[in-house]
């Protein structure tokens, strides 16, 4: 069922996003995140975390700035064992106050993917079932959510702003949008944060086990995601089958 456009404080999502981007355009990543927790135009907010290769940065920031913030962890039930172990270790180390483990609807799984092989036939449908639908349900109470997406990751991410309109439903906050790869690594080093164990094994971007492979030297860091296909995103940044509205790449029509 299509999701309907919503208003908050009498303002549309578009109006709030435009105001927020204008207000914080020249702020740093940490300043954007800190102010997002207090800005009324952002509203109720959650962090969505995959507990992947770079997730610890935002998890640490949230734990320091606003430790009561809900952290939504989407357990697709096809994650690497190392990811589940890392999630448990970080939750304890960072003392995450409101960590919510979200799993796919059991009835939907039994109907659509009873033998767990949907990913072999239709990766998009599998992501939709295990990630997109699951996340959208979990985000229902929130006006905004925090993502770890960054421009340097390429693809649809190259023109990210700090604040995005998610299909006129809620706001996506991308505090690390302008960070480079080295910024991420420096933050982890300076704060002595533990790394995901699979990174050392050649996995710079980590998703579900069946659809993630090691990356060779010189390859794009996301080359191991859905290798051999045209797929670039898992689907959580799509609503009703369409990519959420954001800034258009240079050269595209307005």
Which residues does the annotation mark as catalytic? 234
Whole-angstrom Cα distance, residue 144 to residue 209? Answer: 29
Helix 55-65 vs helix 81-94: angle between axes, to the nearest 10 degrees? 20
Using only the alpha carbons of the chain, give its radius of gyration. 18
Nearest alpha-carbon partner for 244 in 41, 5, 26, 1: 5
Q: What tokens were used for 174?
A: 């991308």
Q: Which of 59, 33, 60, 31 is nearest to 45 (CA)?
A: 33
**Which ranges of 78-167 would DSSP assign to H, the alpha helix?**
81-94, 106-112, 118-121, 123-127, 133-139
Backbone angles phi, psi at 181, to 5 degrees: -55, -40
Number of CB atoms found within 10 A of residue 12's CB: 14
């Amino acid at each position: 069922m299509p999701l309907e456009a919503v208003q908050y404080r009498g303002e549309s999502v578009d109006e709030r996003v435009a105001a927020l981007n204008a207000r914080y355009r020249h702020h740093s990543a940490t300043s954007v995140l800190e102010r997002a927790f207090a800005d009324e135009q952002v509203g109720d907010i959650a962090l969505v975390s995959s507990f992947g290769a770079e997730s610890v940065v935002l998890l640490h920031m949230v734990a320091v700035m606003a430790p009561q913030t809900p952290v939504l962890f989407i357990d697709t039930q096809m994650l690497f064992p190392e990811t589940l172990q890392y999630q448990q270790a970080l939750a304890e180390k960072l003392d995450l106050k409101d960590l919510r483990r979200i799993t796919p609807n059991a009835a939907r799984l039994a109907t659509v993917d009873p033998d767990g092989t949907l990913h072999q036939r239709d990766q998009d449908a599998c992501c939709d079932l295990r990630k997109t639908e699951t996340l959208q349900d979990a985000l229902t109470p929130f006006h905004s959510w925090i993502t770890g997406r960054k421009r340097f990751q390429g693809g649809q991410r190259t023109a990210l702003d700090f604040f995005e309109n998610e299909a006129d439903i809620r706001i996506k906050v991308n505090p690390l949008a302008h960070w480079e790869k080295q910024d991420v690594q420096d933050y982890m080093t300076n704060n002595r944060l533990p790394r995901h164990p699979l990174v050392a094994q050649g996995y710079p971007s980590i998703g579900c086990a069946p659809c993630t492979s090691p990356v060779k030297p010189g390859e794009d860091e996301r080359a191991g995601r859905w290798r051999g296909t045209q797929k670039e995103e898992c689907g959580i940044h799509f609503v009703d089958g369409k990519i959420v509205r954001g800034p258009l790449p240079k050269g595209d029509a307005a």
